[in-house]
Chains A and B, each alone.
Chain A
Amino acid sequence: MAKATNTNMNEDILAFLRQDELDYPGAAQKFGAAAVPFLQEITEGGDENLATKAAYLLGYINDETAKTALVAAAGNKFTTVRIAAAYGAASQDADTAKTILGRLLGDYDHGVVKVTMRSIGEKNWVKVWLKS
C-alpha cells in the first residue's frame, strides 16, 4: 500500500518536473518532505533538465532531509544543479547556507558564483564577512 502511494507520488513529481513553467512553492507545499528521497535520486541522475528542477524544488522544501540533499547538490556534476543549490541556500538556516555558499563561492563556473553572491547578499552576510 505504502509502496503504491510512493509510486503514484513519484509519477506526480516527475509530471511536475516535466512542466515548462513550474510553481516550485506550490509543489513544495503539495509534496513536502516525502518527496525528498526521489528528488535527490533525480538530482543525482543523468537528465540535466530534471536534475536541475529537482534541485530547485529541494530548496523550497523545509525539512532536514531536504537540507542534506541540497548540500549534496552543491557538489553535483551539472553546473545548473549547483546553481539551483546556490539559489536554494538563500532560504536555508545559517549553517546550511554557509556550507553550501562557502563551497560554491569557489566554483569555477561564473553562473554558480553569480547566484552564490546573490544568495550571500540576501543573507545580509556581506558586512559580517568584510569585517572579519
Chain B
Amino acid sequence: MNEQFAAMQDVYATAGIRVDWSTTENLSLSTLEDVDVGGCTMGSVTAEQITLFGNRNFVGTNDLVVYYVRSTVPGYNGCAAHPSGRPGCVVVRTASRWTLGHEFGHVLGIHHVNNNNRLMTGNGTFNITNPPPDLVSTEVTTLLNSGLSRPI
C-alpha cells in the first residue's frame, strides 16, 4: 500500500499534482474481501460495490478512496467503477505498484492508451518499464479539470 501510494505520488508529481494520504481505516468486512465488481463498467456498479463504497469515514465529498481487497470477482488488478458521488476505486493485493495511480486516473476521467511508457496503458501496468510512467499534457488537463482535484 505504501509502495503503491509512493509510486502514485511520483507519477502525479511529474504533472504538478500533489497527492495527500489523509486517512486510513481498517474495515472488518470479511464478506467484501473478494468483492463482486461485475464487468467493471464505469457508471454501473454491483450491490457489493455500493456497500463497500458506503464506507467513507472522515473522508471529504471530493476525496478519493481506495479500497484494498484480496481480490475482485471476476479477477482484475483494480476497478475504478464507483457509485455516483462516492469517488474511489478498488485495488487488489497482488496488483502492480502502478495500479493505484492508474485506477485513480480512471476515476479522474482519463482513459486507456496503447503505450507502455504511460500510466494509462491498457496493456497492464505490470508492463511499465520506464518508472515513473508518463502522463501527457492532455491527460494532465483532464486531471486538473476533473472537479475532484483542487489548486494549491
Cβ A20 vs Cβ B74 within 8 A: no
Q: Is the CB of B124 within 8 A of A19?
A: yes
Which listed residue, B70, B96, B102, touches A80 by the CB 8 Å rule? B70
Chain A interface residue count, CB cutoff 8 Å, equals 23
A28 to B131, CA, bound (A): 32
Pick from B71, B76, B103, B125 the residue with the most CB of A within 10 Å. B71
Residue A115 interfacial (CB < 8 Å): yes
Chain B residues within 8 Å of chain A by Cβ, number: 28
Q: Please state if A110 and B127 are interface contacts (CB–CB under 8 Å).
A: no
A67 contacts B by Cβ under 8 Å: no
A12 to B37, CA, bound (A): 25
Q: Which residues of B sit under 8 angstroms from A19, Cβ to Cβ?
A: 77, 122-124
Looking at chain A's contact residues, the main secondary structure is: helix
A12 nearest CB across to chain B (Å): 11
A87 with B74: CB separation less than 8 A: yes
User: Mask for B63-82, Cβ within 8 A of A = 1, else 0?
Assistant: 00000001101111111000
Contact B73 A15 (CB under 8 A): no
The closest CB in chain A to the CB of B71 belongs to A80
Closest Cβ of chain B to A20, distance in Å, is: 4
B119-145 CB contacts (< 8 Å) to partner A: 122-127
* Residue pair A15, B123 in contact (C-beta under 8 Å): yes
List, in ascending order, chain A residues with CB within 8 A of B126's CB: 18
